[in-house]
Amino acid sequence: MVSDKFRHQLRQEAKTWQAEGLINESQYELLSQRYQFNTLDTSARNRFIVILIGLGSLLLGLAVITFVAANWQDWSRELRVFLLLSVFVGVNIAGFYLWRYPTEQWQNRLGRGLLFLGALILGANMALMAQMFHQSGSPAGLYIVWGIGVLAMAYSLRLTLLGILSTLLIGIGYWWGFFELSGLEDFSWLKLVLQNMPLLASLMFIPLAYWCRSRWLFGISAILIIVSLEITLTQIEFPNKFLASLISTTAFVLPPALLWGYDDNFWRFRLIDDSSSKPFQIIARNLTLTFLAVLYYMFSFQFVWNDTQPSLVKQFNPNDVLLLINVIFFWVLTIWQWLHLGQRMDRITAVVGSMIAIAAFVLLFHLNIAPISAFAIFVFNAVLFILAAGLIREALATGERRGFWGGIILLTLQIASRMLEYDTNLLFKAFVLFLCGVGIIAAGLWFERYLRNFNPEQ
């Protein structure tokens, strides 16, 4: 859908073309009908009305909040509960009606805004209700329950905005609860949710992302799943050195393998009719490349290998069984996905798989057989260079700026980091930084000139 700014500019230009004789009156009318020039003034007036309504509603809301705060302690608990529920129900009903049955475009937007406000009021009501009935608990639990409530609203209304809000709320609750995990009782509901967050997040948010057809929701959900999976792996401890090193290696190998093997055809659940489209696979693979870039860059430093040792304990903790179930589930899922990928293996998938396998082999050898710090540093620097060069090569083949600049930034960071990490004189550092700056400018200018003559069909 074209923006109003573009239509304003086009109407002005079309009038100029008509005055200069470049187009006749009938052609101008065709442009006017196609781009709806007659609705521009109405759209501007509607936006002005929305701004006025929004500003007035904000002031009214502040007045109501101030009035309630002034009389809150004097009111009975029953009246306060009735007021909280009335505001929540009233805002959501008004939002649903404006969103579901709009007569103008601004009413649909206002309805979405009211539904989002209703989701925020839900959290405020939960906090105030807990305070009134003297229910204490962890803030992490409040955020998670709040997020689950907003998730139910997102599923019932099929709204991407509410789904993203739910993901953020549950992510905040999970991060907050991670620091309180040791103080929670065994098998409490909050501890069970925190320990099984990778699996729960997959079941809660991935189907919703397909139902809403939202790439943003899928991307944020995938980040939450990977972060919670990484935290889960850091909590598992073994008395056996090999098993402990295997868990440490899994933390760096499983997430990129899981993301790269992701295929929309496995998980669409008939929510997308076109079986040939894969709207989320490209997002998962971009996240894979980002994870690998951060991983290889981190392991290219010398100090990382001096402190790389698996976590050992005297006895296995039975409470870690739930954590292991999540890890085993994602390993099985990853292996199944890669078995399907093996049936139609392409060049890029083979390269990414080799890079992941190299990282796993080097880590396991270093942790179990013999320290190979120098060799590992060389390998990860070489693989990081290959990744950067591969991004640049694919960008030249497809004409995408993002991949090109990603590869350039990786190469620059690698060269600058090696120069700053090792003992070199200031004159040499200045010379290297100068070359990096000149190289980035020259590469950017050359790539822009290349794009002007780029033909994807060649």
Q: Kindly report, residue by residue over 22-41, the tens digit of the pLDDT.
A: 788 787 788 777 877 766 66
Identify the domain containing residue 447 by its residue range.
372-458
Please compute the mean of the pLDDT values over residues 278-305 and round it to a whole number: 86
Q: Which of 135-139, 348-352, 428-432 has the highest mean pLDDT?
A: 348-352
- How many whole angstroms separate alpha carbon 415 and alpha carbon 422? 11
pLDDT > 70? residue 205: yes
Tens of pLDDT, residues 427-457: 777 777 787 788 888 877 887 777 777 655 5
In a domain, 406, yes or no: yes
Please compute the mean of the pLDDT values over residues 46-51 and round it to a whole number: 68
Q: CA 170 from chain center: how many Å?
A: 13
Q: How far is CA 378 from CA 167, 305, 368, 406, in A?
A: 39, 12, 19, 21
In a domain, 134, yes or no: no
In a domain, 87, yes or no: no
Which pair of structure tokens corresponds to residue 21? 């004789």
Contact 248, 367 (CB under 8 A): yes
pLDDT, position 171: 92
In a domain, 365, yes or no: no
Q: CA 271 from chain center: how many Å?
A: 21
In a domain, 443, yes or no: yes
Q: Return the bridge partners of 238, or none.
A: 312
Closest CA to 378 of 279, 287, 300, 277: 300
Cα-based angle 292, 331, 235 (whole degrees, multiple of 5): 80
Question: Residue 438 half-sphere exposure, CB side, CA atoms within 13 Å?
Answer: 6
Least confident range from 7-11, 85-89, 211-215, 286-290: namely: 7-11
- Most distant pair of Cα atoms in the chain: their distance: 89
Contact 233, 255 (CB under 8 A): no
Contact 164, 151 (CB under 8 A): no
- How many whole angstroms separate alpha carbon 341 and alpha carbon 334? 10
Closest CA to 402 of 285, 303, 295, 324: 285
Q: How far is CA 268 from CA 212, 245, 264, 273, 281, in A?
A: 12, 35, 6, 9, 11
pLDDT class of 16 with cuts at 50, 70, 90:
confident
Going by C-beta distance under 8 Å and a sequence separation of 6 or more, which residues neighbour residue 415? 432, 436
Arithmetic mean of pLDDT over the chain: 81
In a domain, 209, yes or no: no
With pLDDT > 90 as the criterion, what percentage of the chain qualifies?
Answer: 14
Please compute the mean of the pLDDT values over residues 375-383 and round it to a whole number: 87
Least confident range from 60-69, 87-96, 238-247: namely: 60-69
pLDDT, position 270: 46
Provide, for the chain, the percentages of residues in helix, strand and coil under a 3-state DSSP scheme, each rounded to the nearest 5.
Answer: 80, 0, 20
pLDDT, position 224: 93
pLDDT > 90? residue 366: no
pLDDT, position 276: 47
Which pair of structure tokens corresponds to residue 181? 């995990």
3-state SS, one letter per residue, for 153-202: HHHHHCCHHHHHHHHHHHHHHHHHHHCCHHHCCCCCHHHHHHHCHHHHHH
In a domain, 397, yes or no: yes
pLDDT > 80? residue 213: yes
Closest CA to 254 of 309, 345, 324, 182: 324
- How many whole angstroms separate alpha carbon 453 and alpha carbon 181? 57
**Helical ranges in 307-372 per DSSP H:** 321-342, 347-368
* Number of separate domains in the chain: 1
